[in-house]
Amino acid sequence: MSTTLTSLTKPIHRFSARHSTRLPLMVTATLLVAMFSIGSLQYEGFFSAQVLLNILIDNGFLLVVAIGMTFVILTGGIDLSVGSMVALSTMLTAWLVEQNGLPLALAVPLVLLVGTGGGAVMGWVIHAFEIQPFIVTLAGMFLARGLCYMISTESISLTDPTTTRIAQTRVLLPGGLFVSPAVIIALGVLALAFVVLHHTRFGRTVHALGGNESSARLMGLPVGRTKVAVYAVSGLCSALGGLLLTFYMLSGYALHAVGMELDAIAAVVIGGTLLTGGSGFVLGTALGVTVLGLIQTVISFQGTLSSWWTRIVIGGLLFVFILLQRLFGGSRQAQ
């Protein structure tokens, strides 16, 4: 009799465990639909596909940075350097193109190489010396921001014709809708990250590393190589996000992207990725970025609230989602 009950309850436990990992993602999707519905009922002109596309246009660079952060958090780490790396990328691009006359086609690979190399070095330090990622990436944050000021303490405007043309380009869609090239690039990065994280051996290793690093090492998985690669991916995404921000702002400035690392972490957490690692979806991160952008849009449509309300609402959402993570984590351990 007990054997029969056990055989009946095992599929139920597997079903509930599988769906409990997706529950935060479903909560985020429900929240997004609810916010858009309330905004559509409250404000004239809010119910429009272009409003959602504008959120992507205004946050394409954040989406790319948050995708890189998703790789890191899935391993149980954190990367506090991404905002400073974004700023450094804008400064390098503007300095190389505007002040040194380097063609944009040559400046872009150099900037991406700097970001990827910086991330890989931090990953190697974290693994080789067994230092907490918080400390290493905090040092990287100060270093990158300091390098920005070494290049220039003033904003460097970009007047290069190629850069300006790309920044002003609109990709037309059916129905009179449009997006910027940055949105196309961000969605391409999202699709690539989805395939890598959920359909490759490297992605499975990333999840295993976040689930239990000791077990991953005993299984013979390349823990060190994966850590270095994950932080290199984060650095690459930060540099690419910086390039997209350069096109968006048409300038390089040492104070660009101040606090963006916190926005990226918030988007990843609201998107359902566990801060402890091992569980999460990169598509959830895209939903998290959209939720953050929708909060800003609702407040701008409201018209009388200070922009600081955006931070207050995001803080409240983070608090709720961290509590949900704790509850879901406890329920999975019980099963």
Q: Could you list the pLDDT tens digit for every one of the 335 residues in the chain?
A: 444 444 444 443 444 445 556 777 888 889 899 999 989 998 888 888 999 999 999 999 999 999 999 999 999 999 999 999 999 999 999 999 999 999 999 999 999 999 999 999 999 999 999 999 999 999 999 999 999 999 999 999 999 999 999 999 999 999 899 999 999 999 999 999 999 999 999 999 999 999 888 899 989 999 999 999 999 999 999 999 999 999 999 999 999 999 999 999 999 999 989 888 888 889 999 999 999 999 988 888 877 777 777 888 888 888 888 887 777 655 444 44
pLDDT digits 0-9 by tens, 64-77: 999 999 999 999 99
Closest CA to 115 of 285, 267, 231, 201: 231
Rg (CA), the chain: 21
Report the chain's terminal Cα–Cα distance, integer Å.
21
Q: Provide the greatest CA pair distance for the chain.
A: 80
pLDDT of residue 142: 97
Give the chain's length: 335
CA distance 130 to 112: 27
Long-range contacts of range 96-99, CB-CB < 8 Å, 24 or more positions apart? 97/158, 97/160, 97/163, 98/156, 98/157, 98/158, 98/159, 98/160, 98/252, 99/156
CA distance 110 to 240: 11
User: How distant is the alpha carbon of residue 113 from its chain centre?
Assistant: 19
Closest CA to 285 of 52, 19, 63: 63
pLDDT digits 0-9 by tens, 244-261: 999 999 999 999 999 999
The two three-digit tokens of residue 166, written as one number: 């790309």
The two three-digit tokens of residue 285, written as one number: 């991160």
CA distance 235 to 233: 5
pLDDT of residue 243: 97
Q: How many CB atoms lie within 10 A of CB 69?
A: 31
6 by Cβ neighbours in 10 Å (0-12 / 13-18 / 19+) ranks as exposed
pLDDT digits 0-9 by tens, 52-66: 999 999 999 999 999
pTM of this prediction exceeds 0.85: yes
CA distance 271 to 268: 5
Class for the domain spanning 44-324: mainly alpha
Listed by start position, the domains of the chain span 44-324
Distances (CA, A) of 264 to 2, 86, 167, 223, 326: 48, 12, 23, 24, 20
305 DSSP 8-state letter: S
Tokens 């899935």 sit on residue: 74
CA distance 69 to 234: 6
Contact indicator for 156, 256 with CB cutoff of 8 Å: no
CA distance 291 to 293: 5
